[in-house]
A and B are shown apart, each in its own frame.
Chain A
Amino acid sequence: MYVAVKGGERAIEAAHDWLAEERRGNPEVPELSIAQIREQMALAVNRVMAEGSLYDPDLAALAIKQARGDLIEAVFLIRAYRTTLPRFGGSVPVETDKMALIRRISATFKDAPGGQVLGPTFDYTHRLLDFKLMAEGAASQAQTRDAAPEPAPHILQLLDRDGLMEPQPRHDSTPPDLTRAPLELPATRPLRLQALTRGDEGFVLSMAYSTQRGYGRTHAFVGELRIGTVAVEMDIPELGFAVEIGEVELTECETVNQFTGSKTEPPQFTRGYGLVFGQSERKAISMSLVDRALRWKELGEEDTGAPAQDEEFVLYHCDNIQATGFLEHIKLPHYVDFQSELELIRRLRAEAQATAAHQEAAE
């Protein structure tokens, strides 16, 4: 229960002033610019864009600066800003097979058409601190190689062509939008994917990890992981046709999972899918594992009671802004609530003591 409480205005103002001073840190150290955060903390910017559900690198960098590097607070700022924007419409679904790739790997096919491109990855680094970065050094130069552009079709589509992959029927319905209508269960797969792509990376990662450890096991292989930029097109009412309105960097993961078969269907592989704003491959892989685990009912699998199979558990707890809002509200004044608890416990104690005294007297 909440009651209006007055007072504390001066304390709040002083707290905010101090916050601003602390945010700046030691004034003898140069201040961070938005461009520095955008360029040099790019993966933090990517995470804030993905979970804030708004692709705008400058705004995400500003949010990180304002939040003193607290990424969930930064996501909160982006979500709040997002609600102030009028929605012009929805894009044509992006065509990830036409992505300008910077990374593309497959754990299932060595010789995939288009090849395996490592890109700017942390993989194969030794995870040793690089003390050279502590000293201001010259920027290192990436190697280059001239290469004619080569088509890189989706690897799972190659399996699909051979009939070994669960078919993925294409249609063009307008997808449900959890930012416009409350999330209702059971959710369709498009709605689940929307919730997962903006879900907390840590939560989605742990859920995915739990499936690997046996809680709703789905035997996933990374069929393909790709990172790159795609064009975003939208139908412009003034023009009457679709034009490109910009481009976004995305990470896409497709998993190949254990085959299922039935009396009517021959054994085939099944799919999990992850698509996330920015370079966010841990999140994209996690998303595809959780997507696949949540498909148990549709694929006629057994409900093992695993958390990752529980749609309500996953979808209602993956949003870190909802979670932090409810969690942190308990630090706000609950004086009346607590007063009634206090009175109750005093009464119960008094009653217990009276009973004990009564029994002692009787004995």
Chain B
Amino acid sequence: MGLLARACPARLAALLPDPPASEWLRKPEVGSVMVRGRTGAVGAPFNLGEMSVTRCSLQLADGRVGHAYVQGRDKDHATRAALVDALMQGAEAAQIDAAVLAPLAAEEAARRTARAARAAATKVEFFTMVRGED
């Protein structure tokens, strides 16, 4: 679900072009979640600020239920994420995994690796100057 929540809405739409019919249990709704941090990184929680989130719940014709909470305000994104969640609970799981989740995971891993490689290039290699005292 985290992968779907972080996915680019347009990319998810491209990977799941023909979503199956479903009925709403909860129509897509835009709201916020209060993001929390910890005092001194490890201590008591505090409220850092909110982020926008869209959620929905739906049911496929065969009764399978899917839920989604995705970052941002894209209702289509939340809908497709909930559909994938529902589809993953049946026979199509392997197929959906290969067609949707695996490409999303690979692309996300590539983006992360690219950023980590740029960060690694800025890692400082210290060297000590020889002091010329004697």
Contact = CB atoms under 8 A, between A and B. Distances in A.
Contacts of B10: none
Q: Which of B40, B44, B46, B69 has the most CB of A within 10 A?
A: B40
Interface residues of B, number: 50
A248 interface: yes
10 contacts: A94-B48, A102-B119, A103-B122, A144-B117, A144-B120, A145-B120, A177-B34, A190-B47, A232-B71, A245-B5
Given A169-B44, A170-B44, 14 more contacts: A53-B49, A54-B51, A58-B72, A82-B50, A85-B31, A103-B119, A120-B118, A145-B123, A177-B47, A178-B47, A189-B44, A232-B35, A232-B71, A244-B5
A133 to B, nearest CB: 20
Interface of B: 1-2, 5-6, 29-53, 55, 57, 67, 69-73, 112, 114-124, 126
Contact of B53 (A59, A120, A245): A245
Nearest to A96: B41
Contact of B52 (A55, A94, A119, A244): A55
Contacts, number: 219
Contacts of A238: 57, 67
Contact of B40 (A111, A115, A116, A254): A254
B72 to A, nearest CB: 7
Contacts of B112: 100
B116 to A, nearest CB: 7
Given A238-B67, A244-B1, A246-B5, A277 B49 contact: yes
Q: How large is the interface on A (under 10, 10 to 19, 20 to 34, 35 or more residues)?
A: 35 or more
A-B CB proximity, top 6 nearest: A244-B2, A246-B71, A190-B46, A147-B120, A144-B117, A55-B51
A252 B38 CA distance: 11
Interface stretch (A193-201, A212-220, A343-351, A355-363): A193-201
Given A147-B123, A246-B53, A190 B39 contact: yes
B69 A234 contact: yes
A89 B117 contact: no
Contact of A197 (B48, B116, B119, B126): B48
A144 B123 CA distance: 11
Interface stretch (A2-10, A149-157, A317-325): A149-157
Interface in A40-85: 49-50, 53-56, 58-59, 82, 85
Contact of B71 (A97, A147, A247): A247
B46 A193 contact: yes
Given A54-B51, A90-B47, A117 B123 contact: yes
B49 A147 contact: no
Nearest to B38: A93
Given A86-B31, A144-B114, A238-B67, A93 B45 contact: yes
Q: Which of B33, B67, B114 has the most CB of A within 10 A?
A: B33
A168 interface: yes
